[in-house]
Every structure is written in structure tokens, then in C-alpha cells.
């Protein structure tokens, strides 16, 4: 989703290079246009372009020197990707420039309020610049606060004013924004990843808080305009490795890092594990409700099965965008677990807000411990995956599964007064991930890259794994892909099967193996190509993806890793950049 950066520098810098360098670090978020704005010769200058940051860089032939600038990557919501719709936006009197991440839900209403205004874009954001111009107030920050108080929806907002060439105005509601104060510069950004190598301390704003940033001081305000104080936070170095090392793509690098991620988890959770969840507390829990979107939702589906299998507590997983508008009862006696790699997904955060209103205990499972999710849950568990750059989540999914598994076994131990050595299962998984080879996948990727449609089938946890494998394949290869519970084939899906179709059968549960293999034969008998993904011996007639048998529920991680690689490889064969699939964003901060 949109990314924002801003800079104020003590020395005059080549502002294009400074802004684009920072913006590049936000590239992973997904975008379709980009722009920069800066003050040069007492004028605000904007340069914007549809396409990539590199396209924008190539279009700027001159160097510009300045102390201040802001920049933006846009992921189109209101109005198509174009240079006019790209940020920054400037007020009509050319005094204010702004960049915005979020959605102004009442922008049409606000536009009606402003008479005689000529809009240069179709966006919801531009109205903010014009509103700032029209504000009558005794100070500039008052103007910013007044405008933001009128906005419905979400915003991370960064503004600059031509008369104040050493000041940035910052506002936040439900979209992330961070401020780093260094000796020679202040940097403002949507992700702390922009601060790597620039400084070690940063500030966050809560919703409806504001900041006036200049080189000598940062002043914070609440929405009533009262000054407030804030404590700096320390950057967590563990998360920062933006280098691709020897890998061509982040997605591949991140799949290959999976065993290291499990090592990080072992280190993090080897002592004082889950002490908050003791027997007394767990005995009072009625149901476990897990909430997430996309891949995090799929991890939650498997997590719910772990809890049901190991702990006698009914557990479900809900899609956040559905849950928030459902009539589901929210009970204080339930335990709510929110899963989000980024910790910034708008729908997941909306559910958190909803649950908190009704008093349920909220646990977060995230990869970003300074995220909005982490800050707002009662207990937050770190998945320790390190920064994930590729749009398609891989290593964070594995890490979510491992944390859910450990948590379910911890609950089991507490409730049954047992010492369960579940870390040995995690260690076994780590070793198997380290030993995993992917050579068997190449031929299968080549096969499915020619198919019109690929379906993943399985039973129980294998069905949930099928949903994730199918999402991954469609995300990065654009092949039409489905997941179907094996037992449902006869109830409709078989009508689709012919020689253009490939069915990948997930079979990791020995008890259900024969039934699942019968389903595979049904597909084969109708001309469909069958691939079996299993640790068990199966008929030679089927193509096989070998999975190591680790004799624990964590086998779903080994399946995921192989099928992530299958998706990756297929995207490469189809000449698609797997790190940035079309139309997708890494962090979905709007509804
Ligand atoms: C798919 C993918 C998405 C995310 C979803 C939730 O590969 O990455 O489906 O899982 O957008 O994102 P988070 O986990 O950040 O809440």
C-alpha cells in the first residue's frame, strides 16, 4: 500500500537522491505510481510519474538541492494510476504540499464545502491540501489539526509549507507513520525500515496525534491542540536486512531463510514461554477465536485445528473483513488471537477494536513488534521472521504456524498438568527445513505453467494447507487456482476436470491417506494430471512431491515450504516478477 517519506536536513542535499533512496525501501509495499515534492528557490516543486520509482528517477534529469522534501508511492484506490493522481498534492495558492496514506471517506462532502477549487486529480487525498489553504487559525499546526478533525477514515499525513522550509507537519489515524530524529536530519516514514543506518531512536504517533518536526525539536500534540510528551523507542536491528544476498528475488531468499526463522523462534521462546497463559486463566476460556486475512487467516485455520486437537477448547478462525460486519457474539470469556505479519492490516485492526469494546482478551501474533497490532493487544507474540519484503508471505506464514503450534501445546501442558517437550518438534522442523531440497519441484512447475487451472485438494489440515498453496500460486503465477476439500470433489468440482487441469493432492495424514488417494484416482480417471505431495509411499503412476516425515503437526510447514517454492518457480517460468505481483500490496492498510 502507499508509502510515505519526508526529510528535513541540516545541510542542503541532493533532494531527489535522498527522497528516492528512502522511497526505494518502501517499494516492497506495492504501488503503481510515485512522486516527490521539495522546496527549491522558495517554491514547492512536484515531480510525479505513473510506474516505478526507477521510472520516476529516470524522468528527473536535473539535480535539485534542498533542505526539505516529501515523497510517496501510491497504490491506486480513487482514480487510476497516473501522474496526476500520484502524490504529492499542492494547494491552489501553491503554499501547502501533502502526501497521504489512507482513505478520506467523506472527500466528496468536503469537496462540496470548498467553493471555486480546481482539482487536478481524481483522488480523495487532494482535498486535504485545499482544505489546509482555506483554514483560518492562529498557527499552522492548528490548521493541520482542524483539517484532520474533519476527515473521516484513515490517514498518515505529511505536509510542508513553503513559508516554513524547515518544518514538516505529521498526523496519524489508523495508518502507520514513524519519526526519526538524527543529528543532521529528521526522517519521517511509513516504516522504520527507512531509518536503517540513519539513527537508532524513533517516535510513533497514536491515532489522532500530531507532530511538528524541525531540526532542533519535535513537538507533539493531541487532537485538541494540547502539547503532549512522547518517549523515543529504540530500533530493533534484528529485523533489518534488505539485501537480497545471492538470491535473484526476495521471495526465494525468504523461502530459503525458513530454517533460520525457526532457529530465531527457538532462541526467543526457549525461556519464560507463554507465562501469561497459566492453568487458572485457561480454565476460564470458553472458545478460542482466531482472526486474520489472507495467508494469516490460513495460518489461523490450521492454528484452530491445533487448539482443537491438543486442547479441549472449541476454536475457530474468522476472516477479518467478514467478522467485522458479522453478527458474531463477542464474549469476554473467549480468547481472541489476531494474526498479522505486518500488524497493520486495516480489517484485522478493525476487528481488534471491535473485540476490545466488548472486553475479550486479545492476543496478537505478528512479525512487527512496533506495529499498531502489537501496541494495542493485551499480549503480543513475536514470530521472529525478520523483515519480509516479497509481497507473497512465505517465511512469516511458517513462523505463524510454529508459534500457534507451540501455544497450543503449552495450553495442553497447562490444562493437563503435563510437561510437554514440544520444542523438540520445533527443532525437528528446523532440521528438516534445513535439509529440504527443491529439485523435484522444477519439473512440476514446468508442467503446471502450461495448465489453465490448478487445484489443490486435501482433508483436514491438508485442506487448509491447500487454501494457502492455492493463494500463493495464483498470487505469483496468475494461474487460476482453487482449493477443494478432497471429499467435496464429487459434489461439483469433478465437472471441471479434463486434460487441461492439474490437481495437487496433499496427503500428510496417514489415517486419511487411502481416502485421499481414491480422490486422486477419480481425477486421473477423468484425464486430469495428478501430483501427490506426501511423506508416504503412493502409487508410482502419480508424480510425487517428497515431504520428510517429521511425525508432528508441523509437517504442514514442510508442505508449505515446497509449495511456496512451486509457486515461485512457476512465476519465474512465466516471466513474472514474484516479488511484486500485479495489483497486490504487501501491507493492506485500507479496507
Ligand atoms: C499473501 C499475503 C496476504 C497477507 C494478508 C494479511 O501472500 O501475504 O494474503 O497475508 O494481506 O497481511 P498481514 O499478515 O500483514 O495482516
Q: Determine the pLDDT at residue 199.
A: 85
What's the gap between Cα 132 and its chain centre?
32
Measured CA to CA, the distance from residue 29 to residue 72 in angstroms comes to 11
Positions in the chain whose pLDDT score sits under 50? 238
Angle, nearest 10°, between helix axes 294-310 and 461-477? 170
Kindly give, in sequence order, each residue whose CB lies less than 8 Å from that of residue 563, ignoring residues fewer than 6 positions away: 456, 465, 468, 469, 472, 473, 504, 533, 545
pLDDT tens across 210-264, in order? 999 998 899 999 999 999 999 999 886 545 567 788 899 999 999 999 999 999 9
pLDDT tens-digit series, residues 566-591: 999 999 999 999 998 888 877 787 77
Q: Is 509 helix (H, G, I), strand (E, B) or coil?
A: coil
Sign of the dihedral through C-alpha 104, 110, 114, 115: positive
Q: Which of 175, 251, 293, 567 should be mutated for ligand 1, with most atoms under 8 A from CB?
A: 293
DSSP of 299-366: HHHHHHHHHHHHSSSEEEEEEHHHHTTS-----TTSEEEEEESSS--HHHHHHHHHHHHHT-EEEEEE
Q: In what order do the strands lie in the sheet with 335-340?
A: 314-319, 287-292, 335-340, 361-366, 379-382
**Looking at ligand 1, which residue's alpha carbon is closest to its atom 9?**
294
Reported in sequence order, the residue ranges of 146-293 that DSSP labels E, i.e. its strands, are 153-161, 168-173, 178-181, 185-189, 201-204, 209-213, 218-221, 227-228, 233-234, 287-292
Active site (annotated) includes residue 16? no
**CA 578 to chain centroid:** 16
Return the ligand 1 atom nearest residue 394 CA.
Answer: 7
What is the whole-number distance in angstroms between the Cα of residue 201 and the centre of ligand 1? 28
Q: Whose CA is nearest to atom 11 of ligand 1?
A: 294
Q: How far apart are CA 71 and CA 59, in angstroms?
A: 15
Residue entry with cell 519439473: 443
Contact 179, 203 (CB under 8 A): yes
Q: Positive or negative, the Cα torsion across 470, 80, 178, 131?
A: negative
2 is catalytic: yes
Which pLDDT does position 324 carry in this prediction? 93
Compute the distance from residue 121 Cα to the ligand 1 centre, in Å: 30
CB neighbours of 189 closer than 8 A, spacing ≥ 6?
3, 4, 5, 6, 22, 25, 26, 177, 178, 180, 195
Residues in contact with ligand 1 (CB, 6 Å cut-off): 293-296, 340-342, 345, 348, 392-393, 471, 475, 587-588
Task: Compute CA 395 distance to the chain's CA centroid, rounded to the nearest angstrom.
Answer: 12
Q: Specify the ligand 1 atom closest to the Cα of 373.
A: 16
Between the alpha carbon of residue 293 and those of residues 258, 374, 460, 581, the distances in Å are 21, 16, 20, 18
Ligand 1 centroid vs 391 CA: distance in angstroms?
Answer: 8
Pocket test for ligand 1, best of 337, 403, 588, 590 (most atoms within 8 A of CB): 588
Quote the pLDDT of residue 278: 94
Gyration radius of the chain's alpha carbons: 25
Count Cβ neighbours within 10 Å for each residue of 119-136 and write b for 16 or more, e otherwise: eebebbbbbbbbbbbeee
| Residue owning grid cell 476439500 | 485
User: 492 Cβ partners below 8 Å, 6+ apart?
Assistant: none
Atom of ligand 1 nearest to the CA of 366: 14
Question: Would you give the distance in Å from CA 236 to the centre of its chain?
Answer: 18
Q: Are 3 and 561 in contact (CB under 8 A)?
A: no
To the question of pTM greater than 0.75 for the whole model, the response is: yes
- Tell which one of 29, 251, 295, 301 to mutate to probe ligand 1, the residue whose CB is within 8 A of the most ligand atoms: 295
> Residue whose CA is closest, atom 10 of ligand 1?
295
As a whole number of angstroms, the distance between CA 303 and CA 307 comes to 6
Q: In what order do the strands lie in the sheet with 33-40?
A: 43-50, 33-40, 65-74, 3-14, 185-189, 178-181, 201-204, 233-234
Amino acid at each position: 500500500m502507499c508509502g510515505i517519506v519526508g526529510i528535513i536536513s541540516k545541510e542542503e542535499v541532493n533532494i531527489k537522491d535522498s527522497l528516492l533512496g528512502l522511497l526505494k525501501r518502501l517499494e516492497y509495499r506495492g504501488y503503481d505510481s510515485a512522486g516527490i515534492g521539495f522546496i527549491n528557490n522558495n517554491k514547492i516543486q512536484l515531480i510525479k510519474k505513473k510506474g516505478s520509482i526507477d521510472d520516476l528517477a529516470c524522468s528527473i534529469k536535473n539535480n535539485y538541492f534542498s533542505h526539505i522534501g516529501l515523497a510517496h508511492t501510491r497504490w491506486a484506490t480513487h482514480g487510476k494510476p497516473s501522474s496526476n493522481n500520484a502524490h504529492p498534492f499542492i494547494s491552489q495558492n501553491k503554499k501547502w504540499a501533502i502526501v497521504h496514506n489512507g482513505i478520506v471517506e467523506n472527500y466528496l462532502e468536503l469537496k462540496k464545502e470548498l467553493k471555486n477549487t480546481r482539482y487536478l486529480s481524481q483522488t480523495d487525498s487532494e482535498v486535504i491540501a485545499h482544505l489546509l489553504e482555506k483554514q483560518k487559525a492562529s498557527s499552522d499546526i492548528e490548521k493541520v489539526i482542524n483539517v484532520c478533525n474533519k476527515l473521516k477514515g484513515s490517514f498518515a499525513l505529511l505536509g510542508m509549507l513553503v513559508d516554513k522550509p524547515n518544518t514538516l507537519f505529521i498526523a496519524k489515524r489508523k495508518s502507520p507513520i514513524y519519526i526519526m530524529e538524527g543529528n543532521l536530519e529528521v526522517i519521517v516514514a511509513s516504516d522504520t525500515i527507512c531509518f536503517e543506518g540513519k539513527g537508532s531512536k524513533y517516535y510513533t504517533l497514536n491515532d489522532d496525534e500530531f507532530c511538528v518536526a524541525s531540526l532542533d525539536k519535535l513537538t507533539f500534540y493531541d487532537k485538541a491542540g494540547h502539547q503532549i510528551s512522547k518517549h523515543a523507542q529504540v530500533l530493533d536491528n534484528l529485523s533489518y536486512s534488505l539485501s537480497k544476498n545471492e538470491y535473484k528475488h526476495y521471495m526465494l531468499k525468504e523461502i530459503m531463510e525458513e530454517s533460520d526463522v525457526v532457529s530465531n523462534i527457538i532462541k526467543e521462546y526457549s525461556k519464560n514461554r507463554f507465562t501469561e497463559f497459566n492453568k487458572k486463566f485457561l480454565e476460564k476460556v470458553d472458545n478460542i477465536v482466531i482472526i486474520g486475512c489472507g495467508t494469516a487467516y490460513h495460518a489461523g485455520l490450521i492454528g484452530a485445528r491445533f487448539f482443537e486437537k491438543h486442547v479441549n477448547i472449541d476454536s475457530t478462525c474468522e476472516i477479518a473483513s467478514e467478522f467485522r460486519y458479522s453478527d458474531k457474539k463477542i464474549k469476554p470469556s473467549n480468547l481472541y488471537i489476531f494474526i498479522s505479519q505486518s500488524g497493520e492490516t486495516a480489517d484485522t485492526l478493525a476487528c481488534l477494536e471491535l473485540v476490545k469494546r466488548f472486553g475479550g482478551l486479545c492476543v496478537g501474533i505478528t512479525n512487527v513488534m512496533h506495529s499498531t497490532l502489537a501496541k494495542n493487544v493485551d499480549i503480543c507474540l513475536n514470530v521472529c521472521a525478520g523483515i519480509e519484503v516479497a509481497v507473497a508471505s512465505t517465511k512469516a506464514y511458517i513462523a505463524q504456524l510454529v508459534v500457534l503450534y507451540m501455544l497450543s501445546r503449552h495450553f495442553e501442558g497447562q490444562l493437563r498438568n503435563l510437561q510437554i517437550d514440544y520444542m523438540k518438534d520445533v527443532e525437528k522442523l528446523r532440521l528438516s527445513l534445513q535439509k529440504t531440497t527443491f529439485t523435484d519441484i522444477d519439473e512440476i512447475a514446468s508442467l503446471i505453467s502450461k495448465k489453465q487451472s490448478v487445484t489443490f485438494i486435501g482433508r483436514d489440515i491438508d485442506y487448509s494447507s491447500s487454501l494457502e498453496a492455492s493463494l500463493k500460486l495464483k498470487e505469483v503465477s496468475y494461474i487460476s487456482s482453487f482449493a477443494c476439500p478432497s471429499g467435496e470433489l464429487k459434489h461439483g468440482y469433478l465437472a471441471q476436470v479434463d486434460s487441461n487441469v492439474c490437481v495437487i493432492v496433499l496427503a500428510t495424514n496417514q489415517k486419511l491417506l487411502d481416502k485421499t488417494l481414491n480422490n486422486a484416482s477419480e481425477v486421473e480417471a477423468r484425464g486430469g494430471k495428478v501430483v501427490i505431495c506426501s511423506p508416504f509411499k503412493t502409487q508410482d503412476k502419480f508424480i510425487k512431491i517428497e515431504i520428510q516425515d517429521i511425525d508432528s503437526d508441523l509437517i504442514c510447514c514442510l508442505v508449505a515450504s515446497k509449495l511456496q517454492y512451486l509457486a515461485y518457480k512457476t512465476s519465474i517460468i512465466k516471466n513474472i516478477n514474484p516479488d511484486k505481483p500485479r495489483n497486490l500490496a504487501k501491507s493492506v492498510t485500507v479496507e
